[in-house]
Amino acid sequence: MSRADSRPSRRAFVRATGAVAATGLAAGCETPAARPGRPPSAPPGTGVTPTGRHQAGITLPQPAQSNLLAVVADLDEAAAPGPLLADLGNLVRTLTAGADPRLLGLPPGDLTVTIGVGPRLVRTAGAALPGAADLPGYSREEMARQARGGDLLLQICAGDALLLPVVASALLAQAGDRVRERWRQSGQRGPVTTVGHGVSAPRNLLGFVDGIVGPHTTAERRRHLWLSGPAPVAGGTIAVVRRMEIDLPRFAALSVADQEAALGRRRATAAPLSGGTAASDPDLGAKTPDGRYLVPADSHVRRANPRAVGVGLMLRRSYSIDQPAPGLLFISFQNDLRTFTRTLAHMEGSDALLRYTTTTAGATFLVLPGFDEQLPLGARLFA
């Protein structure tokens, strides 16, 4: 049996995954600090409203909750997506309000549920719509058939890990026989570190601070994160979800200098190897006196740099995992799938960090625009 065939039962509670959070390949972060042009954060100690122009669980709350459970499922061919999504959206409102008995008395706290639909469903609404393209295959993948693709993404995040399987159970019960689960993955993030300019980031599974680069301001998010159209998808975004195992013993056997060369940043301070602070942009042209790049040619910072690739920014909301093996549940949000595909294509041949990873599950989803009591989830796309 492939490693990707293994998944916990629906009733299994989330395992604790250690104090470190999302890994080097892409741990994303949001910051609680305010700065000019930044969107507002959710007030501390309160719930996160599930309604509005955008779904919660992407840019709010800030910082991201410490626990996540992602469930990927397929829609039965006889089931209509519109009514299902409307039912799920209504349930999300009652769950986050603490008004559903299926919470079993647990307070919802900062619970968010973010729902996306896969390319097959998007194509039924329009083959040219954002989100209609499948995620291509890449090297260093070992995926079982059911671990590639999917029709439905349920991303459940909360500070309280006990909520995750309870909420997943309620959502799947509401869907009933209209959906069939493919796989699920739980994960955890650790505390974040302030790196400057109103940006904070967690230390990743490899020991490095990561997630510094991303669309942090309102203007950046308008340009790189949210879909502006067509009308049925405006306010949504495109998600990429990939589960990756990391060979920690092999990476840990490297010297600190070799680890830093693979990442392109100092492990202790997160400063790029070209100099400055953690908040400094890496100087990709800087060289040593003998002509070597200070940020090595095969370093992750260089190979994944959006300026070097020629793409926009992606917002990453990734979580570290310890089952089925130590690694990362990589989750990125962007308004153009090519932001991800071109970045990974640029990394594939020579990113030193990829030598320590194996991807065991992957899919892309159109994260639906926001909803409210008058406009059900998915109503504009699946009328």
In this predicted structure, what is the pLDDT of residue 2?
40
pLDDT value at 48 more than 60 = yes
What average pLDDT does range 205-214 have in this prediction? 85
In this predicted structure, what is the pLDDT of residue 27?
35
Q: Which residue, among 263, 158, 243, has the nearest Cα to 203 in the 3D structure?
A: 263
- pLDDT confidence band for 11 (50 / 70 / 90): very low
Which residue type, as a one-letter code, is found at position 167? Answer: V
In this predicted structure, what is the pLDDT of residue 46?
60
* Max Cα–Cα distance, the chain, nearest Å: 68
Q: Which residue, among 328, 329, 345, has the nearest Cα to 337 in the 3D structure?
A: 345
pLDDT value at 178 more than 80 = yes
In this predicted structure, what is the pLDDT of residue 63?
86
In this predicted structure, what is the pLDDT of residue 73?
98
* Mean model confidence pLDDT for the chain: 89
Which residues lie closer than 8 Å to 105 by C-beta, 6 or more apart?
Answer: none
pLDDT value at 12 more than 50 = no
> Over pLDDT 70: what percentage of the chain?
88
CA 207/CA 261 separation, integer angstroms: 14
In this predicted structure, what is the pLDDT of residue 15?
38
What average pLDDT does range 267-293 have in this prediction? 95
Choice between 131 and 15, residue whose per-residue pLDDT is larger: 131
Give the tens place of pLDDT for each residue, 304-316. 999 999 999 999 9
Give the tens place of pLDDT for each residue, 305-348. 999 999 999 999 889 999 999 999 999 999 999 999 999 999 99
CB-hemisphere CA count at 13 Å for 64? 32
What's the pTM? Answer: 0.88
In this predicted structure, what is the pLDDT of residue 308?
94
45-59, 88-102, 204-218: range with highest mean pLDDT = 88-102
pLDDT value at 52 more than 50 = yes
In this predicted structure, what is the pLDDT of residue 34?
34
